[in-house]
Amino acid sequence: MMETITQPWPWYVAGALIGLIVPALLLLGNKHFGISANLRHMCAACIPSDIPFFKYDWKKESWNLFFIGGIFIGGFIAAHFLGSDAPIIIHLDLAKELASYGITDLSGMVPVQLFELHDVFTLRGFVMMVGGGFLVGFGTRYAGGCTSGHAIMGLSDLQWPSLVATICFMIGGFVMANLILPYILAL
């Protein structure tokens, strides 16, 4: 039993479970799934403001804050109690390409050369973490939601804006990974 919990689940099991969140939320309370709106809820709860964007009844959406808390707690439990010491296995071609960018330590969940705190103070780290974080945050608000909200919830509801946003997310990801990222990693 413990081996079943600690091993990665097949995509068709994990995908189906994620997909079942949508009808469950709709049936249990007409709730919409999304992650990025929680920043707005937290700002509305913590910052007394005259900004109209933050003046709404955020308490009606407090269930979503508990949902995000569950994600963090679940990630902590999975990493500290259910994790495996087995190395992460990636395709050899990907490992060679990453090595050409100077990324060789693939022992953890993310490449150490990209996500260490002292790397924020390098040009490459600043562009990747601070610049990328700003662009993701701006894009999320500009698109009216994040990838999980649009791609999981919006497409399930057959919303045209979610289809457009999801296509744009995918194109942006392909352009970033194949055209822009190699130049940033060369910094």
Residues in the chain: 187
Same domain, 138 and 78: no
In a domain, 146, yes or no: yes
Q: Which of the pair, 98 or 174, is modelled with greater confidence?
A: 174
Same domain, 185 and 144: yes
At residue 33, the pLDDT reads 77
168 token code pair: 């744009």
Same domain, 1 and 79: yes
At residue 2, the pLDDT reads 66
Same domain, 35 and 78: yes
What is the rounded CA–CA span in Å between residue 113 and residue 97? 14
Torsion sign over Cα 153, 159, 161, 162: positive
Over residues 132-163, the pLDDT tens digits come to: 888 888 888 888 888 888 888 888 888 899 99
Over residues 25-76, the pLDDT tens digits come to: 888 888 887 788 888 888 888 887 788 888 888 888 888 888 889 989 988 8
Domain-ending residue, one of 62, 83, 104: 83
Identify the domain containing residue 131 by its residue range: 116-187
Other CB atoms within 10 Å distance of the CB of residue 140: 21
In a domain, 7, yes or no: yes
Confidence band of 174 (pLDDT split at 50, 70, 90): very high
In a domain, 98, yes or no: no
Domain-ending residue, one of 83, 103, 134: 83
At residue 41, the pLDDT reads 85
At residue 93, the pLDDT reads 93
Is residue 165 within 8 A of residue 144, CB to CB? The reply is yes
Q: What is the DSSP string of 6-32?
A: HSPPPHHHHHHHHHHHHHHHHHHHS--
In a domain, 102, yes or no: no
Flag whether the pTM goes above 0.75: no
Domains held by the chain: number: 2
Same domain, 78 and 137: no
Does the pLDDT at position 171 exceed 90? Answer: yes
Does the pLDDT at position 78 exceed 90? Answer: no
At residue 175, the pLDDT reads 93
